[in-house]
Chain A
Amino acid sequence: MANLDAADTTFRPKPNLPPPPNTVGAVGWMRKNLFSSVLNTLLTLGAMWLILSVAYTLFDWGVLKAVWVAENRRECLDRSPDGACWAGVIHWFNTFMYGRYPYAEQWRPNLGLVILILWMLPCWLPRVTGKIGIALSAVIIFPFLAGYLFAGGEKGLILQILVSAGIVTFITIWLHVLSCLLTGRSLPVHILGITGFTDKDDRLHKYPLIGAFGLALIVVLILQSGWEPPEVGTNLWGGLFLTLVISGVGITTALPSGVLLALGRRSRMPIIRVSCIAFIELFRSVPLITILFMAVTMMPLFLPETVTLNRLVQVIIAVCLFAAAYMAEIVRGGLQAIPKGQYEAAQSMGLNYWKMMALVVMPQALKLMIPNIVGNFIGLFKDTTLVSIIGLYDLLLMLKAVSQNPQWNGLYLEPFMFGTFVFFIFCFAMSTYSQHLERTLGSGQVRR
């Protein structure tokens, strides 16, 4: 034993051989997943043939044989009868976006969108405080400013004040954001510093802030009182703009009113509970289209002749009520998933009902419900196309209108392809954002 060479006895495993080349990489993956048996190979080949032929047909129709510039459909047909006539979509693009909104005024919806984006942007910026306030103001104050910007015309005193408040709030938010980003301190802190209230009792702090806001409000009120963009009746609103207005208002009001209804349904007070149940069950058991017909066609029958209702407002109210009822049930589902211990823990901390709900229960419930809530929003966004049935020229009806124009007679496939694309972008963006939210809030985790 002793004369054996130590080096020779040590067990030295040979290095692992690389796996056979046909089991790794793309080839391996394909062998494993696509061609593992005769049947799978056949299926793969069949599916590939199907995909390729559909893709090629689409490509051939939509790109190779397509006509991009033409004055009317006849010209398209003359040049390439089997190709897409994208010239029609390009020609009608503005109308798809704004409907019958006058061309010279179309900057107003654009400006409204830009303001909304700027208004909400701070919510995603780091080092900005008071994000809940900013988001709330976007929901509560922005609609008045935007509504007036879109509709225009004369404004009464109340509208004057609301519009001014919108402008002041918007400016305040951005001053606040800049102050947060540049100096690291919030705008109220600066105002208190300038007015010399920093050292005074906390209870007095609100006075200089309210004063500053009031002063700004009066200045803006005077400055903007002469601003009066020409009136654009809501019957001229249309296209994607209208779709976004209806679904935007529906989506933003659905969540708060859904939360209130859900709480009301679980309330111990009988009148509130019964009326909430009645409301939810009534609106959930009737299709949206029926509610829309009811609101638009039946309502005027019950009202005196001189009362003229605004069709768009009727529709928006109907959509909001409908969305609220559905949202209420989603939120209630979330509430039921919260263990009783959470309520008891909150109560033992001495929180009252509203604080318990706002600080302990709702954040957990809503977090759980994000996929359902966003799913509901996406559904609502697509449901708004139903307003086309009662004659509001939303995106869908504008797309349909092309095929009925004598110049573009029969052009319906291309506009619908375009509409599909637009809807896909919006719904996919919402869905992606909800997944992002789920990840950051960790609500996808399994509950213990």
Chain B
Amino acid sequence: MKKLSLLGLGIGFLAGFTVMAEPVMAQSTLEQIKQRGHLRCQIGTPAPGFYSLDANGQWQGSDVSMCRAVATAIFGDPSKVEFQSVTSAVRFTALANGESDMLSRTATWTAFRDTQLGLKFAGINFYDGQGFLVPKSLGLKSALELKGATVCVLTGTTTELNMTDYSRTNNLDLKPVVFEDSNVRDETYRNGGCDAVTNDKSGLASTRSKFANANDHVILPETISKEPLGPVTRNGDDQWFQIVRWSLFAMIAAEEYGVTSANVDQMLAKPPSPEVARFLGVEGELNKGLGLEKNWAYNIIKKVGNYGEVYEKYMGEGPGAIGIPRAGSQNALWTKGGLMYAPPFR
């Protein structure tokens, strides 16, 4: 009898579970987020400039601001985000299985990822590329002079692969010294364990700023890979994809229009141009297709800031930022010779 009842219990459990797992009516991502009351935005483990924790336990950085911008577009409140800090090993799984609504972390937009992982890259908010950091005392002017050098590199990343490719293409015979941890890599480099460090240039900038004498080290001009970074959403919900994409465009466009968090209220009261009026929701109904409030873009600029403001705060050369100059780089606005470009708001 005892065995029988146990068996019955097991069957009961199974049956209950199957009923529970019955598929429910699919809700759009936006509805889910509104119902939940906050956005679930995936970021990575701390990386200076992009996403890092401060001593009060708050997330900050340029990719974090992207999450906050989307939350602001939906709720008008940049604090309605749950940040999910996930290692890169499971980043796309955590997006695909519905744990995260979007991903705003240093994920490079590649053909494979865009077409074969069920993901959509919503845009580019940072143009990165791999480079080399060397001591100034070596007197190098170009990465092509690195012949036979030992290079510190993180293992298991595309960084290592890019470096070997570059070495083979240019017959440089670079010898990689691999590390698991960026702190150990940088310490080894500082103590002369290798001649150069290779990483994305944003990472090199923060490595450089770690050292007691940052000016003793230079980043070589060559960029050996293209690393366009931007927010990502899941396939299958175009409206949600467009919300993320246009939140990014709104930040870039605002900078182009000269709308900042400081002057956005004046702009709202007295729009300098019809495009700004449409942008801020004074005229037209650009919000309709997105399913957002009329003042969604206003909220983003007011509470998070435009692209330039965010860049200066976290990536630029001010205090608390990691010190990557923007002028003349690909991350400058298209009007200033860069690649940051937003389609028109009309």
Residues of A within 8 A of B (CB): 73, 77-78, 81, 91-92, 94-95, 98-103, 233, 235-236, 238, 269, 271, 293, 297, 300-306, 308, 389-391, 393, 397-398, 400-401, 403-407, 409-410, 412
When distances are taken between beta carbons in the complex, the residues of chain A under 8 Å from B186 are: 410
- Given A301-B97, A304-B23, A306-B24, A390 and B90 contact (CB-CB distance below 8 Å): yes
Out of B22, B56, B86, name the residue touching A391 (CB < 8 Å).
Answer: B86
When distances are taken between beta carbons in the complex, the residues of chain B under 8 Å from A389 are: 87
Confirm or deny: B48 has a beta carbon within 8 angstroms of a beta carbon on chain A: yes
When distances are taken between beta carbons in the complex, the residues of chain A under 8 Å from B210 are: 73, 409-410
Confirm or deny: B321 has a beta carbon within 8 angstroms of a beta carbon on chain A: yes
Contact assessment for B55 and A91 in the assembled complex, using a CB-CB cutoff below 8 Å? yes
Contact bitstring B1-38, A, C-beta under 8 A = 1, else 0: 01100110000000000001111101100001000100
Besides A235-B82, A297-B94, 15 other CB < 8 A contacts?
A77-B211, A77-B212, A95-B56, A100-B57, A238-B57, A293-B90, A300-B99, A305-B24, A390-B87, A404-B53, A405-B48, A406-B48, A406-B52, A406-B206, A409-B48
When distances are taken between beta carbons in the complex, the residues of chain A under 8 Å from B93 are: 297
**Whole-angstrom distance between the Cβ of B306 and the nearest chain A Cβ:** 21
Once the chains are docked, how many angstroms separate the CA of A100 from the CA of B57? Answer: 4
When distances are taken between beta carbons in the complex, the residues of chain B under 8 Å from A102 are: 57
When distances are taken between beta carbons in the complex, the residues of chain A under 8 Å from B54 are: 405, 407
Contact bitstring B203-222, A, C-beta under 8 A = 1, else 0: 00011011110000000000
When distances are taken between beta carbons in the complex, the residues of chain B under 8 Å from A304 are: 20-24
Contact assessment for A269 and B2 in the assembled complex, using a CB-CB cutoff below 8 Å? yes
Count B-side interface residues using an 8 Å CB cutoff: 49
Contact assessment for B52 and A405 in the assembled complex, using a CB-CB cutoff below 8 Å? yes
Q: How many pairs of residues, A versus B, come closer than 8 Å at their CB atoms?
A: 110
Which residues of B210-256 are within 8 A (CB) of A?
210-212
Among residues of B, the one whose C-beta sits closest to the C-beta of A303 is B21
Contact assessment for B85 and A406 in the assembled complex, using a CB-CB cutoff below 8 Å? no
Contact bitstring B320-343, A, C-beta under 8 A = 1, else 0: 111000000000000000000000
**Whole-angstrom distance between the Cβ of A107 and the nearest chain B Cβ:** 16
- Given A391-B87, A400-B46, A407-B320, A95 and B52 contact (CB-CB distance below 8 Å): no
Once the chains are docked, how many angstroms separate the CA of A258 from the CA of B206? Answer: 48
Contact assessment for A401 and B26 in the assembled complex, using a CB-CB cutoff below 8 Å? no
When distances are taken between beta carbons in the complex, the residues of chain B under 8 Å from A271 are: 3, 6-7
Confirm or deny: B164 has a beta carbon within 8 angstroms of a beta carbon on chain A: no
Residues of B within 8 A of A (CB): 2-3, 6-7, 20-24, 26-27, 32, 36, 45-49, 52-58, 82-87, 90, 93-94, 97-99, 183, 186, 206-207, 209-212, 314, 320-322
**Whole-angstrom distance between the Cβ of B135 and the nearest chain A Cβ:** 16
Once the chains are docked, how many angstroms separate the CA of A302 from the CA of B21? Answer: 8
When distances are taken between beta carbons in the complex, the residues of chain B under 8 Å from A235 are: 82-84
Once the chains are docked, how many angstroms separate the CA of A297 from the CA of B42? Answer: 13
**Whole-angstrom distance between the Cβ of B237 and the nearest chain A Cβ:** 12
When distances are taken between beta carbons in the complex, the residues of chain B under 8 Å from A236 are: 57
**Whole-angstrom distance between the Cβ of B104 and the nearest chain A Cβ:** 15
Contact assessment for A405 and B24 in the assembled complex, using a CB-CB cutoff below 8 Å? no
Among residues of B, the one whose C-beta sits closest to the C-beta of A408 is B55
When distances are taken between beta carbons in the complex, the residues of chain A under 8 Å from B48 are: 404-406, 409
When distances are taken between beta carbons in the complex, the residues of chain B under 8 Å from A99 are: 57
When distances are taken between beta carbons in the complex, the residues of chain B under 8 Å from A400 are: 45-46
Once the chains are docked, how many angstroms separate the CA of A157 from the CA of B320? Answer: 48
Contact assessment for B46 and A405 in the assembled complex, using a CB-CB cutoff below 8 Å? yes
Once the chains are docked, how many angstroms separate the CA of A94 from the CA of B2? Answer: 54
- Given A103-B56, A409-B206, A391 and B98 contact (CB-CB distance below 8 Å): no
- Given A300-B97, A397-B45, A95 and B314 contact (CB-CB distance below 8 Å): no
- Given A305-B26, A407-B54, A410-B210, A393 and B85 contact (CB-CB distance below 8 Å): yes
Contact assessment for A92 and B87 in the assembled complex, using a CB-CB cutoff below 8 Å? no
- Top-7 shortest CB links A-B: A410-B210, A100-B57, A404-B46, A81-B212, A412-B183, A300-B97, A401-B53
Out of A73, A78, A406, A410, name the residue touching B321 (CB < 8 Å).
Answer: A406
Once the chains are docked, how many angstroms separate the CA of A143 from the CA of B199? Answer: 46
- Given A77-B212, A391-B86, A391-B87, A404 and B47 contact (CB-CB distance below 8 Å): yes
Once the chains are docked, how many angstroms separate the CA of A274 from the CA of B56? Answer: 50
Can you report 27 A-B residue pairs in the complex whose CB atoms are below 8 A from each other? A77-B212, A98-B57, A100-B57, A235-B83, A238-B57, A269-B3, A271-B6, A271-B7, A297-B90, A297-B99, A300-B97, A300-B99, A302-B21, A303-B21, A304-B23, A391-B84, A391-B86, A393-B53, A393-B85, A397-B45, A401-B52, A404-B48, A404-B52, A406-B49, A406-B206, A409-B48, A409-B206
**Whole-angstrom distance between the Cβ of A240 and the nearest chain B Cβ:** 13
Interface centre among A92, A102, A406, A412 (most CB of B within 10 A): A406
- Given A390-B90, A393-B85, A404-B47, A409 and B21 contact (CB-CB distance below 8 Å): no
